[in-house]
Structure formats: C-alpha cells, structure tokens
Amino acid sequence: MTGGLQSLLDDWHLSRGKGTTIALVDSGVDASHPGLSAASVEGVVLHTVAGNIIAERDAVGDLAGHGTACAGRILTLAPESRILSCRVLSSSLASTSRLLLGALEWLLTRDDVDVVNLSLGTPNRAFGLEIAHAVDQFYARGICVVASAGPAERPDYPAMFSGPVSVEAAACSDDEELVYRRGSIIEFGARGIDVPVLWSGGRRASVSGSSFAAPLVAGRLARFKALRRNLSVWEQKTLLQYQALTGRPEIR
C-alpha cells in the first residue's frame, strides 16, 4: 500500500461522502420518505422516443420500492452524498437492455457523477458487451460502476465483466463488513441477507439480494472520492480490497 493510498485509509472514517454524486440507475426514489428527509435527491426518468433516449425530470418517484431501498443503503455509508436517481425500471421491475445502455450513455454526458450504482443487469450478452463498452468509458474517467451480481443460474451483465466493481450478497453481520472474493469475477460481498431497508410510500421492509449489497459498496467508494476526486478505478478497487482483507478502518 503506497503512502498516498494509506493516507486515504487513515482518513476514511472522517468522510461522509460530502460533495459527491452517486448515480442510481433503478426504479426511482421516493424522496418524500421520512428516512430520506435529510438527503439530496435529483430524479430523472429515461424514455425511448423514436429510437433515442430522452431524460426528463421525474415527477413520479419510485414505482416499485427497489430504488428507494438502494438509496437508503447508499446513504447508510455516505449520508452526505447526493443521489442522482435515473428511473429505468417499471413498477414490476422490468426494463430493456437498450434503456439501461441509454441511461449509462446519458450519464456519460454529465460531469458531476462520481460513482454509478447498478443494482440491476441484463442476461443479454450482446447488449452486455455494449454496456461493458460504456462501463469502460467510466473506467477511463476514474468512475467506478458498482454492479450487483445476478443468480448463478442466470449471470447478469455487466457484473460478469471485470471492469465494474461487482458485488454479491453475503451473510455479513453489519453494513460495515466487506468481503473480498479472491479469484472470482464477482470480487466483493457485502451485507445483503435479511436487510432492513426503506421502501416507497413511507414504508420499511426486510429484503435479501445482491441489489441491496451493491449500494453499500457505492457508498463506501463515495467516501473515498470525497477525500480525493482523481482516484483511478484501480486505486479504488485496491482500497476496497485492503479494507475487505484487513477489516479496517472501522466506521466511526
């Protein structure tokens, strides 16, 4: 561990993600939820119009609860980060690979994104390759795309590529624990089993799945980016690996 990265590890507990923006590509966010009263949330909804992706202000919010849950998980670790909600999922959590790709391409036009959270993916490998190309463009800019792993019987992309920070649900005891999977494309595990989360309509729920583990890693990365904005993806993955293998520093 170089001295520069070591200083980030030493100061990580001081960071709360202030000044960072995490793009959440999901089902929207219920910004009126009491659990998000102190959060900064901007929402857009993406449509396909005549083959083009159009982004408009989201006046509806969360259609399914999934995005609200993921936003709450992000803010567990980075409470002062800003959420840019990009709604691509319907009330039944359905979408298209083209719309997911379009959301990433739209985010690449912005200059205020520090981390991208994808608690979703596509089993369509052909579109997965196109999505991987978009992820590579984020990689070149030093922006981590955190992707949740799909079930073993139906692997999701882009999580099955090496460019993103891929995360699976693990039986962790708390939100601060991080697991490193040596020798696996799915590199990290975070708490994602029987997790208490916020839900749309002011509700709360208990859920399980990689969808709710990935946002914890996105929040963790926002804390590093708040300390140093010009980190490469390789450096960010190195910091995550070190924390996972050593179990420190603890959140204070």
Task: Please report, for the domain that includes residue 202, its CATH number.
Answer: 3.40.50.200
Does 252 map to a domain? no
Q: Using pLDDT thresholds of 50, 70 and 90, give the confidence band for residue 2.
A: low
Does 125 map to a domain? yes
Cα distance between residue 92 and residue 27, in whole Å: 9
Domain count, the chain: 1
Give DSSP secondary structure letters for 223-243: HHHHH-TT--HHHHHHHHHHH
Does 251 map to a domain? no
Q: Which domain holds residue 77?
A: 3-246
* Number of other residues whose CB lies within 10 A of the CB of residue 96: 13
Asked if 24 and 100 touch (Cβ cutoff 8 Å), the reply is: no
Per-residue pLDDT averaged across 152-173, rounded? 90
Q: Pull the structure tokens for residue 122.
A: 């596509």
pLDDT, tens digit (0-9, with 9 covering 90-100), for 53-108: 889 999 999 989 999 999 999 999 999 999 999 999 999 999 888 899 999 999 99
Q: Is residue 158 reached through a cis peptide bond, with omega within 30 degrees of 0 on the bond before it?
A: yes
The mean of the pLDDT values for the chain is 93
Cα distance between residue 21 and residue 220, in whole Å: 12
Report the percentage of the chain scoring pLDDT > 90.
82
